[in-house]
Chains A and B, each alone.
Chain A
Amino acid sequence: MRDVVVIGAGLAGLTAALRLARAGRSVTLVARGVGGLSLAQGTIDILGYTPERVLRPLDAVAAVPPEHPYAGLGPDAVAAAVTWLRDELGSELLVGDPAVNLHLPTALGALRPTALAQPSMVAADARGGLTYAVVGVRQLKDFPADLVAGNLARSTAPDGGPLGATAAWVDLPARPGEADPSGLTYARSLDDAAFADRFAVAVRDAAGAGDVVLLPGVLGVRPGAGRRLAELIGRPVAEVPLLPPSVPGLRLADALRARVAAAGVRILLGSAVTGFTADGDRVATVTVAAAGGPRALAASDFVYAPGGFESGALAVDSRGAIAETVFGLPLTAADAAGLVGPRYWAPHPLFEVGVRTDAAGRPVAGDKVVHPNLYVAGGILAGPEPWREKSGDGIAVATAVRAAAMIEGGAR
């Protein structure tokens, strides 16, 4: 029997598994597939909008309403968890101050608030008077340089000052004879120093006026390529995360997964958790759909970090019934009727539905803890749509750290 089974391979699951394995627990991490980190923007959000733009996220965390996932944690715990992650991954991968948001251009030209970012991104942090030389790559369809530059030029920095932008293109195939490489394919090519040098020269020659050269977020699968490019280009360089496959997201995922594996966590991928068995009110085993048939994984404690609606951990059936699909946990709403409506540019209350917990992160039905040895973390928690308020990463890391701490501390 293992000490802990962690369900989910996203930011929350990996964080919890790493913390627990480092604390000496035997940990099995089980997931249907790899988590969503490599789909995400590769930065660590804490809180970006309340719905006003947030400049100091920890202050905003201190002021969230009581039903928010941050409310039970508080700014200190959030800061500690996020800082731990930053220091764990190192300054090659994450930099920034959890107390202060950066405002980084997106691949549509919006200014997105986030707390920690990769060093290859931060030169783009918007401040009054800054001008961007946006450079697209003809082979990459998800970085529309003209649209990005056009929207940035229409934007105002959070400090109220103006921004400027120019657009230019380079035409440089990552692999000969391929018109439509993914961003990841391009990034793999940029891991090759000779190709990266050719790329840098092309960008240097093509880029228009601007303080910072803004490039698609494909600057190498390995961290650190941005620095050399900036030297060769002769201007600060910043990369912008693209739609999946997101190379910056993949860098975080790779780094975190490598640490989890090195810490001795047993990782079972391609294994959906389909149910559980209980011993009294405690979870005894979870059932895994392994090749060859179901297997039961027993553990003393379980961390459930499966994501929310995007992963299917929370599901809506054709009659509108909302359910948590493994443990049947109580949710903040059971019926989707009335939670989705005709307005697109508005909150979608369906996606606020989730699990509520006690202060230790254990799911509750009313005030009662459902399973004393089951902790939840990340996107399964009830709360505002994380993608709208830009809070998903901070919630994932902080609640995963909490779950690990409770298990380490023997909270019962």
Chain B
Amino acid sequence: MRRLAADVVVVGGGSTGAGVVRDAAMRGYTAVLVDRSDLAQGTTGRFHGLLHSGGRYVVSDPGSATECARENAVLSRIQAPAIERTGGLFVSVPGDDPGYGDRFLAGAAATGVPAREIPVAEALRREPRLNRGISRAIEVEDASVDGWQLVWGAVNSARAYGAKVLTYHPVTRIDIADGRVRAVHCHDQRRDEEVVIECAFVLNCAGPWAGRITDLAGLPPVPVIPGRGIMIALNHRVVNTVVNRLIYPTDGDILVPVHTVSVIGTTDVKESDPDHLPIPAAEVQQMLDAGERLIPGFRRARAVHAWAGSRPLIRDDRVAADDTRHMSRGMAVVDHLTRDGVAGLLTIGGGKLTTYRLMAEHIVDAMGDQRGERRPCRTADEEIPYAEGSRHYVVTHRLADREADRLDDQIVCECELMSRRMFTDLLHREPLATLDDLRRQLRLGMGPCQGGFCAGRAAGIAVTERVVDAERATGLLRLFLKNRWIGLWPILYGAQVRQTALDHWLYAGTLDIEHLPTPDQEVVR
């Protein structure tokens, strides 16, 4: 058993937890972030990649619109390499009420969301594949964002301020004595070791899993209702600008160019278990129909992967409706002191990735209030250091990088142009990582072939680099392929069928992966 001590333990390594641990560390609190798996593996890693301009909310939720517009500007400044300034368009497709555009423009003016109507011809010139029948187009400052880069940036910044980050450390218990939080117990899954972190505060940022954390503290249930949404990534950028329907927000009305793909989203269906989020065939068809309205021919374009994420909505009658001091729009804070008489525990639900920094600011403020102190938040003032410096992401980066180094280095993932050095550098920094963990930071296996050519290479290199042995490498490879399949089979049509057949030919056929010596134990992490 290991013992640690901290002012605050942040539970959950999604965007909220990452923002909170950075904020707390910057305010001088000793902070530990724990997550049951890898960073940004839950909701934050399973969204459409849109950094809202606020446009989506100018009519439906003006407060959110203003917050998004401000935070969009802040994040673009402090986390530039995670963000591509794609710009956005709201367009009326045939059948949409063109009058909504007037409400939209009025709302934008009222909420301070930059928006400008442009001629339809100009929109079609910028995005030639847009439905030629659009009747209005409004330009906004939408951007696309890599949720993983956002979180890793925040977490690395927190580490620089002394925070500790423990992944694959599921919480097993929260000790409460004399009406206040005393310690968090975790299980270090990789070392198979109990870890106890003594602390005065626990900030429960576990999103859809928040109710499970409060259960571990023995508190009355916090009703979390995961709102599932599915997304589908197309093989290439059919648009280079975020394209939104110019209508009251609904399903399937956003198409986001992020990295090399374009992502259509999303749906909203209540679920009971955030660990089991289906990708129903009917919703896939719904997204394809939605895409077809924006981009004629959408169904003939190639889908490479689909995923489902869940919004972490909390419905709790006992949260006073008028207590919005420390609330960002769409966000819910459960103060367990007022609710359950337990000091030092706050549970956070809801929120948007775009406003993750602002939410963190509110939460850490709330913690300060309970502690009876107010240390100022500095997270908006300081740029987060990235290896790439402070230039915004552009999709050509990796092509330019490989143009420069391709004669000196190997390319492991050819679809996403991931070099061997990129892979081995991270591998040595994260020797306990699974291939999926590395994937989320490097985009390994996320292109059209979905790991068909690169996954085996990556596993082989990990052995050659003496980071894992052959048995674990084989297990990691099997796990990676199994996980890719989760997002593949629901969209198995068109060109991806041919790719999948070839991938099976290579793995099951040429490499006979199904008959590698059986592992003593299946690798699951």
Contacts and interface: CB of A to CB of B under 8 A. Distances in A.
B386 interface: no
A258 B126 CA distance: 50
Interface stretch (B101-109, B192-200, B433-441, B497-505): B497-505
A266 interface: no
A155 interface: yes
Interface string A105-143: 011111110000000000000000000000010000111
Interface string B442-473: 00000000000100110111011000011101
Given A341-B489, A388-B514, A179 B409 contact: yes
A108 B411 CA distance: 19
B290 to A, nearest CB: 13
B516 interface: yes
Which of B407, B474, B517 is packed against the most chain A CB atoms within 10 Å?
B517
A390 interface: yes
A150 B476 CA distance: 14
A109 B510 CA distance: 11
A350 interface: yes
A347 to B, nearest CB: 10
A351 B515 CA distance: 20
A351 B299 contact: no
Contacts of B478: 345
A81 B374 CA distance: 84
B327 interface: no
A318 B508 CA distance: 25
Contacts of B411: 180
B516 A180 contact: no
B501 A146 contact: no
B412 interface: yes
Contacts of B389: none
A153 B492 CA distance: 37
Contacts of B100: none
Contacts of A312: 498
B409 A144 contact: no
Contacts of B513: 108, 110
Interface residues on B, range: 35 or more
B501 A150 contact: no
A179 B407 contact: yes
B406 interface: yes
A320 B420 CA distance: 38
Given A141-B420, A147-B473, A110 B516 contact: yes
Interface in A85-123: 106-112
B492 to A, nearest CB: 5
Contact of B504 (A109, A154, A387): A387
Contact of A147 (B288, B459, B509, B514): B459
Given A144-B460, A150-B469, A178-B407, A317 B511 contact: no
Which of B288, B512, B517 is packed against the most chain A CB atoms within 10 Å?
B512
A180 B485 CA distance: 29
Interface residues of A, number: 64
Q: Main SS of chain B's interface residues?
A: helix
Given A178-B407, A318-B494, A336-B492, A144 B517 contact: no
A388 B509 CA distance: 6
A317 B459 CA distance: 33
Contact of B492 (A39, A49, A142, A340): A340
Given A108-B513, A145-B464, A246-B510, A351 B459 contact: no
A180 B410 contact: yes
Contacts of B285: 319
Given A146-B463, A310-B498, A310-B501, A350 B492 contact: yes
A238 B412 CA distance: 25
Contacts of B410: 141, 179-180
B505 A39 contact: yes
B406 A180 contact: yes
Given A141-B457, A344-B482, A180 B470 contact: no
Contact of B493 (A107, A146, A317): A317
A103 B456 CA distance: 21
Contacts of A387: 504-505, 508-510
Interface in A11-26: none
A345 B509 contact: no
The 8 closest A-B pairs by CB, nearest first: A150-B470, A144-B460, A387-B509, A310-B501, A344-B485, A110-B512, A309-B501, A180-B410
21 contacts: A111-B515, A112-B510, A141-B457, A143-B460, A144-B456, A144-B459, A151-B470, A151-B474, A153-B470, A154-B517, A155-B517, A243-B453, A243-B511, A309-B497, A315-B494, A316-B494, A341-B489, A342-B486, A348-B504, A388-B514, A390-B512
Given A310-B502, A316-B492, A337-B281, 4 more contacts: A108-B456, A108-B474, A151-B474, A153-B470
Interface of A: 39-41, 49, 53, 106-112, 136, 141-151, 153-156, 169, 177-180, 241, 243-244, 246, 308-312, 315-320, 336-337, 340-342, 344-345, 348, 350-351, 385-388, 390, 392
